[in-house]
Structure 1
Amino acid sequence: MITDKRWRELLATRTADPGAVARAYAGRRRRTEPPGASGTLFLVAADHPARGALGVGERPLAMADRRDLLERLLVALDHPAVDGLLATPDVVEELLLLDALHGKVVIGSMNRGGLAGADWEIDDRFTAYSAAAIAERGLDGGKMLLRLVDSDPGTVPTLQACADAVSGLAGHGLMAMVEPLPYRREPDGRLRLAGDAAALTRAVTVASGLGVTSAHTWLKLPAPEEDVPLNATTLPVVVLGGVPAADPAADLASWGRALRHPAVRGLVVGRALLYPPDGDVGAAVDAAAKVLTAAREES
């Protein structure tokens, strides 16, 4: 928990000592081995607020309370199975100032300009970390969202920007985590994730070919019901949490099935672990960690 005193100190630092952020980046103790060197990778994700996606279940502003979000993240990061964090600069820097990221993998979220529900959502501009900034600040890689909508020309600049980011990160020897998600535009204008095997497989092959090299590329995918999308790549894959199911056991079962595939190396989960129905973040993280461990032991 963040005490009232520590919270006031954080707010005061943000106001009076902006240079503390640069010092915190420089002073972060990094892991000596690259992400995934142990064979698995388990990250907690908290980049949703930066594109205006604040809701969890029936709570439209669940992620809006920053102190509450940070407290949940501190609980998750304290679990020994959690390797680190995927987040935008604001969240990363708050946790740096709270001394919570020493020895952790930190992946910077890069494109958040496709605001949730906006008319231009698919034209997902890079509004957070750049490849150069990730390298300069000593982070371990960058993540980009690539929503593919054949009927929306906003897909094209997003494709190009993601390709450039993959190349830029690879030039620094850093992980590029690409999240390719195929979407379809419904007659009412709303976007719907195309979760069928054919659409997801196509997205996997498109994402795998981005940039001047795929040597440092990882893919972040929803857990597929079939192995077809996972069979379409040799790149390391992490399973994303997505929109939490009403029954957390259903999420765990879905992740467990995907984790048994040899291409899948771990989990990157946000809301499903940070905002479980019973409010017990520690128990939710522990359950996911056990699923990951069991799957790797069986594979």
Structure 2
Amino acid sequence: MTATSTTVHRPSAVGLVSDGRFVSSVAEINEVRAREPQRIGELLANRERRDLFGADGKLMIVACDHPARGALGASGKKNAMADRLELLDRLATALSRPGVDGLLATADIAEDLLLLGALEGKLVFASLNRGGLQGSSFEMDDRNTGYDVRGTLEARFDGLKMLTRIDLDDPGTVATLERQGQVVTECNRARLIAMVEPFMSRRVPTKHGTKVVNDLTADAVIKSVAIASGLGASSAYTWMKLPVVPEMERVMASTTLPTLLLGGDPENAPDETYAAWSAALALPSVRGLVLGRTMLYPADDDVAKAVDTAVGLVR
């Protein structure tokens, strides 16, 4: 399958494994979901798994949980991620590239890719909370609407990721922290990685109301790390997922927890972005990258090239 909005040539993402268990095209996913929904559970139960790390102790993870929060924009295009078949094609292409270790996603995305055979031998991190819909009056309400600990265990996935936005002016933040502390505790007891993505956030006025903005100064990220690190009754399986910001050395000096760096939807030129990632990857505690829109919708629309570049930085 070729992306519908581009003419880029990249490897076909479908038919990755053709032993009868998996669909041979993206178009078949709907048929399986309608007639054989039980196949998803069967594939989860028999999916080939892998060790967490290879010899280098680094990870390259492809992320796709933004659509479930109503965030469909990428690379300056408002609805870039709206075409699900194209998105799956790009995701499966990314997962097929050498050096890519796994996926971070909501159940709808993960199970589509599972049916395609794209998750065999990959790590999978389940996305917990997508309830704070982009642009909504309740955007800061990061309640649990995706996977839970039980669902992550039943799916035989490797960990659970949670967005943790902290607004000191929003009394609702304390309820978010309480619930996420419980999830971190449950993850640690189940020996699942609890990947916490913290931000110090606030609402700022706009022409049409307000919007949520994350504070990406080093001091703010350090404060968010301190708060998030203390969630739960154990931190043995707790990881951080952090943005790359100026003075990253100070940020990484604030934690001993294994950390993956997020890419977001960068506004800088690609060379500047790659240079910042490369410098951050050399710091203690940094274990790799979790990238989504940056690789799936690059400026030149060459997914394979973008993924290979990111893998080269990690390894």
Query: Fold match, TM over 0.5?
Result: yes
Partner of 1:67: 85
Shift in CA distance, 42/138, structure 1 to aligned 2, threshold 3 Å = same
> In the TM superposition, what whole-angstrom CA distance separates every residue of 1:23-69 from its partner, at most 9, and x where no partner exists?
111111111x2357741111000001001000013311111111111
Matched, 1:249 2:271: yes
Please show how residues 201-216 of structure 1 align to structure 2 within 5 Å: 201-216=222-237
Q: Which of 113, 134, 138 is the matching residue for 1:95?
A: 113
SS in 1 for 2:81: helix
Aligned-residue sequence identity (percent) comes to 47
Quick check: 2:75–2:294 contact (8 Å CA) kept in 1? no
Matched, 1:125 2:143: yes
Quick check: 1:132–1:168 contact (8 Å CA) kept in 2? no
Quick check: 1:35–1:105 contact (8 Å CA) kept in 2? no
Task: Give the structure with the higher percent helix.
Answer: 1
The farther-off stretch of 17-26 and 84-93 is 17-26
Matched, 1:55 2:70: no
> In the TM superposition, what whole-angstrom CA distance separates every residue of 1:168-202 from its partner, at most 9, and x where no partner exists?
11111110100001112213422222111111100
Please show how residues 9-20 of structure 1 align to structure 2 within 5 Å: 9-20=28-39
Mark the runs of 5 or more structure 1 residues left unpaired by the alignment.
294-299
Partner of 2:4: none
CA distance in 2, matches of 1:183, 1:252: 25
SS in 1 for 2:163: strand
Partner of 2:124: 106
Quick check: 2:266–2:273 contact (8 Å CA) kept in 1? yes
Q: Which of 44, 49, 52 is the matching residue for 1:34?
A: 52
Letter in 1 for 2:223: R
Deviation at 1:137, TM superposition (A): 1.3
Partner of 2:214: 193
CA distance in 2, matches of 1:23, 1:5: 17
Shift in CA distance, 48/175, structure 1 to aligned 2, threshold 3 Å = same
Shift in CA distance, 77/197, structure 1 to aligned 2, threshold 3 Å = same
CA distance in 1, matches of 2:52, 2:216: 31
> In the TM superposition, what whole-angstrom CA distance separates every residue of 1:41-98 from its partner, at most 9, and x where no partner exists?
1100000100100001331111111111111111111112110000000011001111
Letter in 2 for 1:178: V
Task: Name the TM-score, length of structure 1 as normaliser.
Answer: 0.94
Matched, 1:268 2:284: no
Matched, 1:258 2:298: no
SS in 2 for 1:228: helix
CA distance in 2, matches of 1:89, 1:6: 19
Shift in CA distance, 187/59, structure 1 to aligned 2, threshold 3 Å = closer
CA distance in 2, matches of 1:101, 1:182: 33
Matched, 1:160 2:182: no
Number of residue pairs aligned between Structure 1 and Structure 2: 292
CA distance in 2, matches of 1:34, 1:257: 24
SS in 1 for 2:112: helix
Deviation at 1:116, TM superposition (A): 0.6
Partner of 2:3: none
The farther-off stretch of 80-89 and 238-247 is 238-247
Quick check: 1:248–1:272 contact (8 Å CA) kept in 2? no
CA distance in 1, matches of 2:107, 2:62: 15
The alignment yields a C-alpha RMSD, in angstroms, of 1.6
Q: Which of 277, 287, 291 is the matching residue for 2:309?
A: 287
Deviation at 1:244, TM superposition (A): 2.6
> In the TM superposition, what whole-angstrom CA distance separates every residue of 1:134-165 from its partner, at most 9, and x where no partner exists?
01110000000001111112212211121111
CA distance in 2, matches of 1:9, 1:96: 13
